[in-house]
């Protein structure tokens, strides 16, 4: 009366007409009873009878007040099945508010009472938590007499990305923004993932691998995953760089000289060998790595977009080995190179040349 400005019987007619109109447009119509748990069960049964007769294939009842305990909610669902036998022929959905921090428990109790659909969210919204309920249903399927076909591991990955997008501050000082790897940042792979799953995320990183390279990457992934609980996007990048697209080198590093200091621009003198001929170039840059990359571009005579660049230590101590990952974009494809050295500038140069050789090999063939 206060929300719809109508008497109860008139509202039943309105609901039936709305469902019938929807049924003209689609076979899959869901009717949602928003404040069902505070509604008289006999009246709610009349509503369900009317909307199912009008074409509703799913009826969802909501504990919008969030005032029920699990046992009370289970009793409510049981009473509803008795009062509205039509529910046995359609899908019954439930939605629980988390005002008492009992939404997940009520949802599980509702499933045990016969509900076949649970409304949940992947981000905290004061209702049923998707990951928690999916995990409970997967772990206790026999006890609940219910099968949940959600792939819990992939669901958790997706939810980690949602949480990152909603909660984490993106660095405004990041040197590289908008890279392809951001598409899978936060993803977590485990030893239990199959080759198809791993390749899905490799493709989202921007790589297009042959069957041979895909097999090599997956084999390398399995070795890493066997010793690590989780493999993230950064590790996956490194695996692709080291295991895929290994080609005969077109360019070989002959030597380099770097001059850098506080009061003047960095200068890099790079010598590369191609087809037996040594080609040299000198360039200025905003640092030794920037000037080195520019010198390599001068030798090659082409500019490639730098999609991503990372440096990390792979050993400890003052003489630690540094690993660099360079990702270049050529003709819309991503080529990843990897370099290792105790000198981070040298590792960066070698990573760039490694990626460059992959581009040159494909262009030549």
Distance of alpha carbon 217 from alpha carbon 199, whole angstroms:
9
Q: What is the pLDDT of residue 90?
A: 95
Q: Is the dihedral of CA 114, 69, 72, 63 positive or negative?
A: negative
Q: What is the pLDDT of residue 21?
A: 97
Distance of alpha carbon 335 from alpha carbon 326, whole angstroms:
8
pLDDT in tens, 217-232: 888 788 778 776 777 7
More confident residue, 53 or 340: 53
Distance of alpha carbon 69 from alpha carbon 138, whole angstroms:
23
Tokens of 34: 């928003």
DSSP annotation string for 73-139:
HHHHHHHHHHH-GGGGGSEEEEEEB-TTS-HHHHHHHHHHTT--EE--BSS-SSB-BHHHHHHHHHH
Domains of the chain by start residue, with CATH: 8-157 (3.20.20.70), 169-243 (no CATH), 252-364 (3.30.160.270)
pLDDT in tens, 78-100: 999 999 999 999 999 999 999 99
Q: What is the pLDDT of residue 60?
A: 97
């Amino acid at each position: 009366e206060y929300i719809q400005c109508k008497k109860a019987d008139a509202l039943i007619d309105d609901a039936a007409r709305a469902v019938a109109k929807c049924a003209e447009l689609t076979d899959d119509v869901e009717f949602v009873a928003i404040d069902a748990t505070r509604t008289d069960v006999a009246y709610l049964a009349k509503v369900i009878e009317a909307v199912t007769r009008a074409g509703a294939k799913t009826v969802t009842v909501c504990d919008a007040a969030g005032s029920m305990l699990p046992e009370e909610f289970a009793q409510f669902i049981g009473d509803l099945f008795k009062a509205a036998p039509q529910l046995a022929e359609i899908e019954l959905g439930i939605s629980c508010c988390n005002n008492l921090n009992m939404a997940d428990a009520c949802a599980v109790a509702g499933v045990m009472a016969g509900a076949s659909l649970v409304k949940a969210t992947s981000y905290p919204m004061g209702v049923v938590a998707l990951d928690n309920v999916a995990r409970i249903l997967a772990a206790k399927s026999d006890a609940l007499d219910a099968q949940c076909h959600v792939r819990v591991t992939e669901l958790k990955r997706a939810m980690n990305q949602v949480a990152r997008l909603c909660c984490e501050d993106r660095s405004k000082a990041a040197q590289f923004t908008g890279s392809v790897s951001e598409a899978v940042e936060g993803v977590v792979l485990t030893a239990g993932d199959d080759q198809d799953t791993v390749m899905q995320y490799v493709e989202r990183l921007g790589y297009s691998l042959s069957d041979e390279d895909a097999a090599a990457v997956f084999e390398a992934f399995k070795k890493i995953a066997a010793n690590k609980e989780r493999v993230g996007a950064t590790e996956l990048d490194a695996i692709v760089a080291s295991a895929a697209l290994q080609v005969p080198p077109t360019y070989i590093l002959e030597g380099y000289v770097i001059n850098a200091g506080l009061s003047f621009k960095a200068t890099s003198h790079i010598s590369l060998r191609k087809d037996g001929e040594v080609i040299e170039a000198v360039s200025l840059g905003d640092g030794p790595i920037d000037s080195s990359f520019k010198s390599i571009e001068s030798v090659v005579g082409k500019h490639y977009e730098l999609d991503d660049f990372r440096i990390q230590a792979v050993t400890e101590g003052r003489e630690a080995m540094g690993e660099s990952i360079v990702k270049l974009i050529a003709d819309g494809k991503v080529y990843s190179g990897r370099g290792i050295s105790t000198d981070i500038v040298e590792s960066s140069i070698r990573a760039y040349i490694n990626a460059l050789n992959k581009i040159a090999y494909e262009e030549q063939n």
